[in-house]
Copies of this chain bind each other. A is one copy, B any other.
Amino acid sequence: MSASAHPQAPNPAIVFDTLNAYTRTAALRGAIDLDLFTAIGEGNTSVGAIAKRIHASEKGTRILCDFLTIIGFLTKENEHYALTNDSAVFLNRHSPAYMGTITRFLGIPQLTRNFDDLAAVVRKGGTISEEGTLEVENPIWVEFAHSMAPMMRMPAELMAKIVASQVTGECKVLDIAAGHGLFGIAIAKQNPKAQIVGQDWGPVLAVAKENAEKAGVLDRYARIAGSAFDVDFGTNYNVVLITNFLHHFDVPTNESLLRKVHAAMAPGGIALTLEFIPNEDRVTPPIAASFSMMMLGSTPHGDAYTFSEYDKMFRNAGFSRNEMHELSPSPGRVIVSYK
């Protein structure tokens, strides 16, 4: 081989690689559809054995396994593939933390097609489909409740610990836009005297009900069906959960919702907001900071707000102070807001 690398020379690789980044999404989605990680986890490590187990061509299997090795989901040694630590935990169907179901939400055309013409989105400053994912009773949120639950199990448990450190004994918990209900359910499991009220659209609440039943806490899981902006929350909540919700809306909409939350809280109550919250520079950490792009493409007015922006919204709504907690290794962060 002749010639050597010039690390300082301009290199078009990043352009080419990024313009083809969509094939990474396609490959991971395809591997999950084929249950390839489960096949390898069961001990099929050669192309021939994996292909047989997933009922696919040897050529396609070889190219997919190599590609997954390149992008960090498998390792390869002497023609044998193995799962990485993360793939074994999150992508092998036999793992209790399996989260392959999230492709059923993150991969639906209703969401992904919002990025078909990003120039138009940037010109406009928001989604170019009618209401994006925010239309009333959009069935996308039932799918969300079903498929994203595995990704929320860890943050739900970490949040329940934060609540337990501040609120013990009898308490009334409101879970706004509860979805799968896991956040409220985690608190109910941790505190046998906690009474949970889940709010969401009716068809979504059916999923939360199912999960509350499975967790054995249905007798302490009340439900309010309807939009968070329209329903009567009731009063005297010691804890309010606002998870992955505020990023869909603009600041005035959020402040108006937060005033309603504030009014529904008992003296000394706390609100916990789970969000993708970038640092003040808005470009770190990468996953939280990237989330603004997802909101730009899929909502009319959503954003990934910084802590200082949330701090201002909560104060304007009447809260006295706010503090931020990390949930690592989950990319989410929690703001605890005091009435």
Contacts and interface: CB of A to CB of B under 8 A. Distances in A.
Contact of A13 (B25, B30, B287, B292): B287
> In the complex, which of the residues A6, A118, A284 has the most CB atoms of chain B within 10 Å of its own CB atom?
A118
Closest CB pairs A-B (n = 6) = A57-B125, A30-B118, A60-B122, A26-B115, A33-B119, A10-B89
B10 A329 contact: yes
A327 interface: yes
A286 B72 contact: no
A45 interface: no
Contacts of A2: 325-326
A106 B3 CA distance: 28
Contact of A27 (B67, B293, B303, B325): B293
A60 B21 contact: no
B123 A55 contact: yes
B23 A294 contact: yes
Interface string A275-316: 000100111101101101110110000010000000000000
Interface stretch (A95-103, A170-178, A259-267): A95-103
A3 B325 contact: yes
Contacts of A66: 278, 282-283, 289, 292
A110 B211 CA distance: 43
Number of copies: 2
Contact of A24 (B13, B18, B76, B282): B18
A166 interface: no
Nearest to A334: B2
> In the complex, which of the residues A6, A12, A99 has the most CB atoms of chain B within 10 Å of its own CB atom?
A12
Interface in A15-46: 15-30, 33-34
A184 B86 CA distance: 48
A64 interface: yes
10 contacts: A1-B324, A3-B325, A12-B154, A16-B331, A17-B286, A30-B118, A30-B121, A33-B119, A34-B119, A56-B122
A61 interface: yes
A123 B34 CA distance: 9
Contacts of A56: 119, 122-123, 125
Given A23-B297, A297-B23, A329 B91 contact: no
A328 B3 contact: yes
